[in-house]
Structure 1
Amino acid sequence: MAIKLGFNCLLGWLALVLSSSLYAHDIGVSKTELRESSDNSYLIQVQAGPTISNVFATPILPQGFDFVSLPSGSQIGGWKVFEFAGERPLQAEDTLVLPWNRDGIMLKVYWQDGSVADKLIRNERGVITLSMNELKASSGSILDAAKRYFFLGFEHILLGLDHLMFVLGLLWIVKGNLNLVKTITAFTVAHSITLGLATFGILVLPSRPVEACIALSIVFLAVEIIRAQRGQEGLSYRKPWLVAFAFGLLHGLGFAGALTEIGLPDSEVPLALLFFNLGVEAGQLSFVLVMLILGYNIRTVGIRVSTALAGLPIYFLGGIASYWLFTRLTLIGTVG
């Protein structure tokens, strides 16, 4: 009797271990594909056997799309397959939500125009969200694409504090309207060159060293301004356009990182490059205009600031940039 009881306990323990192992096996990263066909038809399939098929619940489709087969999906070989279609193609503004009990998916997207996108997407708050704007989805019309990339560029420059601080340093140094035009033009031409080269894959550099050098460019300007206040004007004061051009090449690589990381459709690369750059320029010129108006009003009101206080903004500028520089240097070579 004792032997039989012990044997039953052992069987129960094995069943518990096996069921726990099976459940643990369900948590992981699944190979998933999204394929676009003609007539705005799509299928999303995930590699899964029949034993764990129930883990992959019905996807939540973007507005305007419906399932053309069972919403719960079909088991075809070793794949769980969902088929859906819409009156229009999937576009960058769409999202596809997968309420799947997985840590994430390794997704591969095959668009009808031949573009392919790969992305590891993790589960966040119980769902896996596929944002089409990160997966080389088309913007729709030319006008939609123009607006999308223009505002992306405009937003990037205005939220890119390091880029704005560099421009502010240039404004502090440059004297005279002609010099200002030459300097801003040189900066624009330089970052447009490297933005284009990086976007087309001709010039590709790791992002972390580039970001560190961008911080270094601000430190350089701060040091030049402080030296000039002590009567030692350097290259930035003699030829500000040359300094703007040299460092503008680095800033262009930083802009390119923001553009390429969204997953550009192959057919939209030239359009994206043009309007993203126009957005960057619009944001940059807006910032310059605001700073010039602010400086003019301060001079008009006649606010007087002591020499000691006048240098504080530059020390603040250099201090923040130095912190960025050392922080970014420590990240070079690390994973993530």
Structure 2
Amino acid sequence: MKMRSELRLAGLLLFAVLASESVWADSMAVPAVALREESAGKYVLEAQMVPVLVPGARPPLAPDRCSVSDASRVAKDGGVQLSFTIDCGDAPLRPDDVLVLPWSVDGIQMTATWSDGQVKRALFGREQIGVVIRLDRILERDESLADLAVEHGLFGWRHAMSGSNHWIFAFALVLAVMGSARRAFGALGGWLTGHAVALVLSDVGVSGLPLAPSEALVAGAAALFVAAAVRGSVSTPAFATVAVLLGSFHGLAMAGDLNQSGLSSSRSVPALFLTNSGIDLGNVLLVTAALVLFNVGRAFLERYRAYVSAFLGTASMFLLFATMTEGLTAAKASAGAGFMEMDALVRSDPVSAAPTIAVPPRQIDASGQLMSPFMSYLIVEPYQVRHEVLVDLKSALEWITFDVDAQDQIPVDRQTAVTDELARLIAERSPIHIDGARARVASMIGEFVALGANGALARGTPVPEPLSTAIVGVTLVYETASIAESVWLDWGLFSAAGSAVPLTVTDPLAVEASELSPSASRYEWSNRLGDFELPKIEAITATRPEWPFASLGLAVLALVTFSLGRGRSLAPFCLVAAYGFYPFVRVEATVPWIGEARIDREASTEVLERLLTNVYRCFDIHNEDAIYDRLALTVTGEQLLAVYLESRRALELENRGGARVRIDEVVVREVRSVKQVENGGYAIDAVWTVGGSVNHFGHLHFRQNRYDATITIVPVEGTWKIRSMELLQETREL
């Protein structure tokens, strides 16, 4: 019963994705695109397109450090293969990079092959400026701590040294304290304390702040310091309060900026510490320089303090308003099209609406009939091999028992007998061998179909079929344990004229056109997928939280020594050490009143994405017992069995003859909130997209949906599982 309850919940999740045929309508203008890393910094981008789309396929837009060649074009398989070379020199593509394809397509199916053997697939939809490829979806970020230190430490240093606000702040601070090094560095100590507060707040889940307002606050603080310099005095507590608040806001702003970089939760805290440390070092250098200049020109500055203050105050206010204006402009741009430079480029040559692509020309002739009495399609996928055949019925009459003399059309009550007989005929006369052994047909479906813009579609309601135009689609499914190593197709149905049978072979990484004839009736496919990885379903470990016990101990020691009045000089050193240890020295432990596992917004994105992917991957296979076993790793809870049955019915409707929807990608776009619930669980309010594809009778159909839901996950025996889902909104994107 437990297994079935888990399956019922998974059925609910799958039903939400697949139950609506209108939502999962086909999008045909979606070419397959391959990105291949040839060597360090050098890449080839290839796209197989139908001729009508080629004129609008301009070179991709790449980061400024990269150059892109013009397209080379080669006719291939009835279409055109476009190839572009992307050369980034000594600075290879990074996960935070973006490529833009300003093409007249609804989206692309991207397959990326990296030099380390990794193969990643993702579906990218069209945006206002074209198809935007965000590389963090297909290129993993794997930085060592040393890489992190260099990247983020330098980023913080450059931020401080290149920001006019920080320069004005340093000189205004030194002027306000009249060159007192002790008071100036004391203020920087307050700034450092604020950064420490921001680090802790970010670690416990407080959202980051926008960067522009925090930089405006730096300019505002400089203006306050200038006002204090004009007055001639300022209290030390006021300095400390301003510095701590300023450091806290600035630190949270840097946290918000880092949240956009795609770092894992285990890396985000060290990255924020290193960034803020770089800023702190830059501030120390700027204040030191200001102190030297002040003391060198002390007589001049004391005599003309009012004029210098007026200059610094004017500069501070100018920077304050300039920074705020820049922030508002950036916010409006972000809410609009984004990527302003690229958008301007696209507007200069508008991209027209993507055209509707008809059935491939090799499939039908000028009169709309099949090019051949039989058209064969062999699809090799994880866990199954499918053999699909389109049959011109009048050309197949020599092999079936239908009485053509009595009537020139097939009545509805005879159609099932005709299609079943054709399916059995093809299964017997054109057997499939998988890994050297004749395969057993797991399921066979025969249907009368109509050829339209969306490929071969089964008729929703049977109608009498004229014999002269009747076309039958046959689908034979053969199950495999993983992915086949070899597949043989022996075709045994040739007309008396001995005409050849076109064959299209599709595997996870390629499409190949071939032909079967009486003298060459066997096609042999062998696994050449290299490092292609089967979709995995793995338990998601609910890791115990890591606690900064060393930092807590040092903070308590500082508080005790300061309170007792003994060894007060030790307290600042303890606090600095606590701050330095905080991101790096942590111990995994379970605190009874908190729960066995903890999750924040950043970590919840990864956990939820993996859990949802697991659920959808369970339906890659057909064996129900195996589905139960897989779901036990991911799902718990009670749901109605009827929901599962309905989801399977909706899924079969989408199959169009057995071609099951394959979920290619699940991406969590946003986690709005994470709330702790009973039993150590968390209710996650999230938005995610699901991209899927169906290869059916030579057509690859893509679809992508966006979901808004609240999903509750709970830790069960050390792993995260989905307990419930409340679907709020569903939107078709592609």
Q: State whether TM-score is above 0.5.
A: yes
Larger gyration radius, structure 1 or structure 2: 2
**1:322 equivalenced with 2:341 (yes/no):** no
Matches within 5 A, 1:50-65: 51-53=52-54, 55-56=56-57
* 1:195–1:252 Cα contact (<8 Å) kept: yes
**1:271 equivalenced with 2:270 (yes/no):** yes
* 1:158–1:283 Cα contact (<8 Å) kept: yes
1:211: Cα distance to partner? 4.1
Cα distance in 2 between the residues matched to 1:120 and 1:53? 19
Cα distance in 2 between the residues matched to 1:225 and 1:104? 61
Which of 166, 169, 181 is the equivalent residue of 2:169? 166
Moved more, 144-153 or 202-211: 202-211
The residue that corresponds to 1:92 in the other structure is 94
- Three-state SS of the structure 2 residue aligned to 1:202 is coil
1:82: Cα distance to partner? 8.1
* 2:197–2:248 Cα contact (<8 Å) kept: yes
* 1:74–1:82 Cα contact (<8 Å) kept: no
Q: 1:110 to 1:205 in 2, by over 3 A?
A: farther
Identity %: 19
The residue that corresponds to 1:335 in the other structure is 332
Cα distance in 1 between the residues matched to 2:96 and 2:209? 31
1:166: Cα distance to partner? 2.1
Q: 1:74 to 1:163 in 2, by over 3 A?
A: farther
Task: Describe the superposition over 1:181-213 as per-residue Cα deviations: whole angstroms up to 9, x where unpaired.
Answer: 432111112034325645886223344544443
1:157 maps to a residue whose letter is A
* 2:208–2:257 Cα contact (<8 Å) kept: no
Higher strand share: 2
Q: 1:51 to 1:59 in 2, by over 3 A?
A: same
The residue that corresponds to 1:188 in the other structure is 192
Cα distance in 1 between the residues matched to 2:62 and 2:320? 44
1:104: Cα distance to partner? 12
- Three-state SS of the structure 2 residue aligned to 1:247 is helix
* 2:153–2:274 Cα contact (<8 Å) kept: yes
* 1:209–1:332 Cα contact (<8 Å) kept: no
Cα distance in 1 between the residues matched to 2:33 and 2:200? 31
**1:149 equivalenced with 2:146 (yes/no):** no
* 2:149–2:274 Cα contact (<8 Å) kept: yes
Which of 204, 207, 219 is the equivalent residue of 1:203? 207
Higher RCO (C-alpha 8 Å, min separation 6) = 1
Task: Describe the superposition over 1:253-274 as per-residue Cα deviations: whole angstroms up to 9, x where unpaired.
Answer: 343455445x243263233223
Task: Describe the superposition over 1:223-267 as per-residue Cα deviations: whole angstroms up to 9, x where unpaired.
Answer: 2221x23xxx344x5542222112222222343455445x24326
* 1:199–1:260 Cα contact (<8 Å) kept: no
Q: 1:121 to 1:44 in 2, by over 3 A?
A: farther
The residue that corresponds to 1:27 in the other structure is none
**1:295 equivalenced with 2:294 (yes/no):** yes
- Three-state SS of the structure 2 residue aligned to 1:204 is coil
Q: 1:329 to 1:276 in 2, by over 3 A?
A: closer
Cα distance in 1 between the residues matched to 2:84 and 2:291? 57
Cα distance in 1 between the residues matched to 2:144 and 2:263? 13
* 1:208–1:328 Cα contact (<8 Å) kept: yes
Cα distance in 1 between the residues matched to 2:138 and 2:173? 37
Instruction: Tell me how many residue pairs correspond in the alignment.
Output: 282
The residue that corresponds to 2:250 in the other structure is 251
Which of 305, 314, 318 is the equivalent residue of 1:310? 305
Q: 1:103 to 1:247 in 2, by over 3 A?
A: farther
Cα distance in 1 between the residues matched to 2:276 and 2:106? 33
Question: Unmatched 5+ residue regions in structure 2?
Answer: 1-29, 64-71, 86-91, 113-117, 334-734
1:280 maps to a residue whose letter is I
Cα distance in 2 between the residues matched to 1:166 and 1:59? 42
**1:220 equivalenced with 2:224 (yes/no):** yes
* 1:34–1:107 Cα contact (<8 Å) kept: no
Cα distance in 1 between the residues matched to 2:318 and 2:312? 10
1:161: Cα distance to partner? 1.5
1:58: Cα distance to partner? 7.3
* 1:170–1:240 Cα contact (<8 Å) kept: no
Cα distance in 2 between the residues matched to 1:167 and 1:188? 14
Matches within 5 A, 1:20-169: 51-53=52-54, 55-56=56-57, 92=94, 100-102=101-103, 138=141, 140-169=143-172
1:154: Cα distance to partner? 0.6
1:149: Cα distance to partner? 1.2
Q: 1:171 to 1:189 in 2, by over 3 A?
A: same
Alpha-carbon RMSD across the aligned residues, in angstroms, is 5.7
Q: 1:280 to 1:34 in 2, by over 3 A?
A: farther
* 2:157–2:282 Cα contact (<8 Å) kept: yes
* 1:95–1:129 Cα contact (<8 Å) kept: no
* 1:139–1:148 Cα contact (<8 Å) kept: no
Q: 1:225 to 1:57 in 2, by over 3 A?
A: same
